[in-house]
Amino acid sequence: MKILSEEEIRQLEDIAYQIRKTALEIIVRAGWGHIGGSFSIAEMLACLYFRFLNVDPNNPQKPDRDYLILSKAHSSPALYAALALKGFFPKELLHTYCTADGLDGHTKRGNPPGVEFSGGSLGLGLSYAVGLAMGIKMREQFKQRVYCIMGDGEINEGQVWEAAMSASHYQLDNLIAIVDYNKVGAKGFVHELMSIEPLVLKWNSFGWETREVDGHDVREICSALYWAKYIGVRGKPICIISHTVKGKGVEECEFNYKWHTHAPSLDKAQSFCEELARNFGRQGEQFEISAQSLELETLEEIIGGELR
């Protein structure tokens, strides 16, 4: 691919920052959510939605679209943030995260527009993605791609490897799996809970083409995604192992399983936001949640009648 300009790099990095900041805001408002895994996929989502995915916010169901399956569906705050930034729905809808009739804590297909997969139990997304990729192959839609983001702890599920074997058997080179290798699960380090190494050799042995990237370097991510979409299409599914830091951008959250599922207080969230701003060159930005805004009690108050 052509080398990204410095301006393009800054734009993608800024989108990743906005994804983190927005995810933090909706988690604080809800009093629940997954900061660690949402922060670790911010750059990957920025590159996918703003560089590679063939999607149309004005027509989310267009037949020739690419699909993004977030198998690690607990990281929905990051996905919702990316979709809102892309223009799939008004940002006010994010305020309904984890409210009655609002956005689900785990993804639900079609809610909001742009979400392609209903997630909850881990290990299911790749099987779903395999089915989509097979259907696209049967229709001979050669330009369409299916991307599936999985967590590293998630791939301990046996169903993942059944799906991996099927994808290889059916030569699904329109399928691109992305492992968010942030090294930390809900209760500790992945290598201590259930080691998944040697990860590259495992995917290769199942008949996949495999690439490793620094999951916080937009240059490396874009290079790997370009290769996967346009060059590595030669009869094998593709796996990108994205080495990331859980909770990237906030020192207290980084590599800390205690921030797998947790919402900070308003004061702590303010300090987190200030740290994000410093780390991503956005000093002086304000956190967009106040004590008054947390007093909203009904869905009608949060999104307003015109969004119904």
> What was the pLDDT predicted at 270?
92
Say what the pLDDT of residue 121 is: 87
Tokens 């994808």: give the residue: 167
In a domain, 96, yes or no: yes
Higher pLDDT, 2 or 255: 255
Sign of CA dihedral 34, 182, 133, 64: positive
R_g over Cα of the chain = 19
Domain presence at residue 89: yes
Please answer whether residues 244 and 41 qualify as being in contact, where contact means their C-beta atoms are separated by less than 8 angstroms.
yes
Instruction: Using pLDDT thresholds of 50, 70 and 90, give the confidence band for residue 178.
Output: very high
The answer as to whether 36 is a domain residue is yes
3-state class of 298 per DSSP? coil
- Which residues face 181 on adjacent strands? 243
How far is Cα 136 from Cα 215, in angstroms, rounded to an integer? 28
3-state secondary structure of 193: helix
Which residues are within 8 A (CB) of 193 and not within 5 positions of it... i.e. 6 or more apart? 153, 185, 187
Q: Which CATH number is 283's domain given?
A: 3.40.50.970
- When pLDDT is cut at 50, 70 and 90, the band that residue 295 belongs to is low
Contact 246, 36 (CB under 8 A): yes
Residue 296 has pLDDT above 60, yes or no: no
Whether residue 1 lies inside any domain: the answer is no
Residue-range definition of the domain harbouring residue 31: 6-307
Average pLDDT for the chain: 92
Q: What is the pLDDT of residues 11-67, one digit of tens each?
A: 999 999 999 999 999 999 999 999 999 999 999 999 999 999 999 999 999 999 999
Number of domains in the chain: 1
Q: What pLDDT shows up at residue 283? A: 74
Q: What percentage of the chain exceeds 70 in pLDDT?
A: 93
Token digits for 54?
Answer: 């063939």
Residue 240 lies in a domain: yes
pLDDT class for 294, splitting at 50, 70, 90? low
The set of residues, in sequence order, having a beta carbon less than 8 Å from that of 131 and lying 6+ positions away, is none
DSSP tag of 70:
E
Secondary structure letter of residue 249 according to DSSP: T
**What is the C-alpha to C-alpha distance for residues 119 and 273, in angstroms, rounded to an integer?**
28
Residue 303 above 50 pLDDT?
no
Q: Out of 174-178, 184-188, 231-235, 304-308, which region has the weakest mean confidence (pLDDT)? A: 304-308
CA distance 129 to 239: 13
Rounded distance, CA 113 to CA 9, Å? Answer: 27
* Euclidean distance between CA atoms 212 and 91, whole angstroms: 33
